[in-house]
Amino acid sequence: MKFILFCNLPYSFAILETLESQIKLRGYQYIWYIPKELEANISYEHYTSDIKKLKKYQADVIFVAGNEVPHYLRGVKTQIFHGLAGEKKGHFRIRDYFDLYLTQGRYFTDKFNQLRDKHKNFEVIETGWCKLDNLYNNNSKLLKYNLLKEYNASKILLYSPTFSPSLTSGDKLLDVINSLSQNSNILLIIKFHDKMDRDIIEKYLKLESKNLIIWTQSDITPLLQISDIMISDTSSVVYEFILLNKPVVTLNSNSENIHWVDCQSNIEVEKEVIDIINGIDKFKDKRENIIELYHPYSDGQSSSRMIDAVENYIKEFGVPQKRKLSFLRRVKIWKIY
């Protein structure tokens, strides 16, 4: 079988890399698609930024961790998602590019099955999410030990806001983050979304604290593994942290299933974080419900299930030769690619 790992977003690398490992393990052929603007500092064996080359490649499967893929490329166009926040605009929008949706847990599977029954032009298989394989295979214990020792702290607090102007807390929590970073027991790490407004980032760069790190590497997984508490807003990364059964504090989240502390004011955010540090964890028992709904797979084998899923799809349906798209959808794809 021949695969395309279709990477058109900076944060898609960490999602697709676990699939690359599984494809290699099974001895299949593959190639990455990486647009020219993302080519810097990559070290993949096989990749191209040329859509014409992908067309000649004649793939059997295209894994996509984004919303669009050229409809004219051969292969089972497989949506594997780039987050767990189902309440975000567009998460359940059917754009007609995809033959197969590989869902993370029952919350997503049930909704996409309803949409499948309505649209009748794709299949749905629940596999778990490949990006989380590395989350469960915790190899960051030494990193945590070294950081706590270097900064003489006892807890690691992660601040990871979303970028969306209507949802982000980045422009609201500057003073709170500054205050918490002055606590000598806390090492505060900030991980901004790749699309975060640069003006907001600049404000945080001006903060002065010996216990503050702004993390610039694209993969947030090591931070999720080593952090004890997270501050965020309506970001899908909240669910990834919750899946590790750790406490979260958000500001004005519009998430559908909130099983963590959600605050309506800055003062409340700081108070709740301090309470958790002091051992008050109000949602410890309720987090299990989110884990069951959103991602019950903690075995680190979701990427393997995804490969199984596309193999079984092809055995049953073959490789689709074309997709029926509206004129506007076709025009959009031609403009992008």
Give the three-class secondary structure for 327.
helix
Distance CA 221, CA 316 (A): 35
Reported as half-sphere exposure (CB side, CA atoms, 13 A), residue 121 has a value of 11
- Fold classification of 2-134+300-336 (topology level): Rossmann fold (3.40.50)
Cα 137–Cα 311–Cα 337 angle in degrees, nearest 5: 85
- Reduce the DSSP state of residue 188 to 3 states and report it: strand
- How long is the chain? 337
pLDDT tens for the chain, 337 residues long, are 999 999 988 888 889 999 999 999 999 999 999 998 888 767 788 999 999 999 999 999 999 998 999 999 999 999 999 888 666 667 888 999 999 999 999 999 999 999 999 999 999 999 999 999 988 887 788 999 999 999 999 999 999 999 989 899 999 999 999 999 999 999 999 999 988 999 999 999 999 999 999 999 888 889 999 999 999 999 889 988 999 999 999 999 988 778 899 999 999 999 999 999 999 999 988 898 889 988 999 999 999 999 999 999 999 999 998 888 899 999 999 998 8
Domain boundaries defined on the chain: 2-134+300-336, 139-294
Domains 2-134+300-336 and 139-294 share a fold: yes
The domain 139-294 is placed in CATH, from the list 3.50.50.60, 2.40.50.140, 3.40.50.12580, 3.40.50.720, at 3.40.50.12580
Helix ranges (DSSP H) in 283-326: 287-294, 302-317
Reduced 3-state DSSP string for 81-145: CCCCCCCCCCCCCCCCCCCEEEECCHHHHHHHHHHHHHHCCCEEEECCCCCHHHHHCCCCHHHHH
The whole model's pTM is what? 0.77
